[in-house]
Amino acid sequence: MAKLKFRTVILSDVHLGSNGCQIDAVNYFLKHVKCDKLILNGDIIDTWALKRNGVWTKQHSRFVRLVLNKIEKQNTRVIYLRGNHDDILDRFLPMSFAGIQIVRQHVHRTPKGDYLVLHGDIFDAITTHMAWLAKLGDIGYTLLLEINKWYNKWRAWRGQEYWSLSAAVKARVKGAVSFISSFEDTLIKIAQDKGYHGVICGHIHTAADKTLNGVHYLNSGDWVESLTALVEYPDGRIEVLGYEDFKKMLAIKKAERKARKQARELGLPVLAPSEVTGFSARVEQELSQVEALAAFERSGQL
């Protein structure tokens, strides 16, 4: 099975147990990546949703099995950070068992410098000081997602692409934009004061990769709408990887494996596997080459 290899993969805000969790996408992603370290940065399990009328399906259990399989079969180190939706873990922290560490925050070391990793909810005044209001807001967000789901079914029926209602609301509402900016500024200031190269968080469901005041700020987004993760390459570079871009990278990997197999069968020189070096314009170029190879195959010349 083709897999993309990374030094570290960081996921947050999967929200297992909620209706909004895009479980098929995150399971497919997790199944087709291999990493030395997997950081689950909060809100992986949504206990708020489960306490209301959430759902836990076999696919949600499969996510857990995929994580455990990485520990058992791939010797992956797993770091689980509590978030606000899985704050039930607070009473047990810190805890370590069977290759998993469960903590409030973590320092991730890279060749480029150290990153402070935390979910980020403790810097959200509403979540920290007005839990009832945060839970009320969560109910409203869940309703927005439900409306968005039916709206996008209608768009799909009309042949239109997916459109995120909540993302559009966040982008247009001044208060939401101001909150995100304030959240980012707070985390950057803390990382700066503590001498970290960067800070990695989740919580606000807004993927980001930016450098401000000399601090590298990264947000892994979520697996409810944006479907994004953070990936670290062997040289220490960390960047946001979206699900659609991931599928394109995986398609290239599969095509390369197929081409090498055909070369061996025909006694031709076998090219070394290309390194996965980040998603860029190179991906589009290689996809064109893959399509050309497929056309060459169909012509019967290979």
pLDDT at position 210 is 94
In 3D space, the residue among 250, 257, 289 whose CA is nearest the CA of residue 272 turns out to be: 257
178-182 long-range contacts, Cβ below 8 Å, gap at least 24? 179/204, 180/204, 180/206
Strand order in the sheet with 238-242: 95-97, 100-103, 77-81, 33-41, 4-11, 228-232, 238-242
Provide CB contacts within 8 A for 66, sequence distance 6+.
27, 30, 31
Q: What is the phi-psi region of residue 213: left when phi exceeds 0, alpha when psi lies from -120 to 50, beta otherwise?
A: left
Cα 141 → chain centroid? 20
Angstrom distance (rounded) from CA 82 to CA 45? 9
pLDDT value, residue 159: 80
Q: CA 141 to CA 222: how far, in whole Å?
A: 14
**Alpha carbons within 13 A on the beta-carbon side of 43:** 27
pLDDT digit of tens for each residue in the chain (302 aa)?
Answer: 889 999 999 999 999 998 889 999 999 999 999 999 999 999 999 887 888 777 899 999 999 999 999 999 999 999 999 988 777 777 777 888 878 999 989 999 999 999 999 998 765 444 443 443 445 445 555 555 566 666 667 777 778 766 665 655 555 543 444 455 677 888 999 899 999 999 999 988 889 999 988 999 999 999 998 899 999 999 999 999 999 999 999 999 888 888 777 777 777 676 665 544 444 445 555 556 556 566 656 665 55
| 4-242 to CATH, choices 3.60.21.10, 3.40.50.880, 3.40.50.1980, 3.40.640.10 | 3.60.21.10
Please check whether residue 117 is in contact with residue 200, taking contact to mean a CB–CB distance below 8 angstroms.
yes
Q: What is the structure's pLDDT at 195?
A: 94
Domain-wise residue ranges, the chain: 4-242, 246-298
Q: Distance (Å, rounded) from C-alpha 81 to C-alpha 40?
A: 6
